[in-house]
Amino acid sequence: MKKDIKIFFIMLVILFVIILFLPASIPIHFNWRGEADIIVDKYFLLIGVCIPYSVYWQFFRNKRD
């Protein structure tokens, strides 16, 4: 359990450092003409840490009997 929490926070810190170098607003969805129609604040991307963590949870952590 402690290892899982450490992995989550390591991923969170890595993503936060990457976010520091991004512009203030990020387009995350484009319409059929290629125009950005959903633009979010760069810190909204911190929610995305759940995706790699769930991959870790599913495939790489030690299974307990």
- The pairs formed by 44-48 with CB atoms below 8 angstroms and a separation of 24 or more are 45/15, 45/19, 46/12, 46/15, 46/16, 46/19, 48/15
Residue 56 lies in a domain: yes
Number of domains in the chain: 1
Element (H, E) at 12: helix 2-20
65 pLDDT band, cuts 50/70/90, is very low
Q: How far is it, in rounded angstroms, from Cα 51 to Cα 40?
A: 18
pLDDT number for residue 49? 75
Residue 65 lies in a domain: no
Name 40's Cβ contacts closer than 8 Å, sequence gap at least 6.
Answer: 25, 26, 28
Residue 38 belongs to domain spanning: 2-60
Amino acid at 28: I
pLDDT in tens, 6-59: 888 888 888 889 999 999 999 989 999 999 999 999 888 888 777 777 777 777
Residue 6 lies in a domain: yes
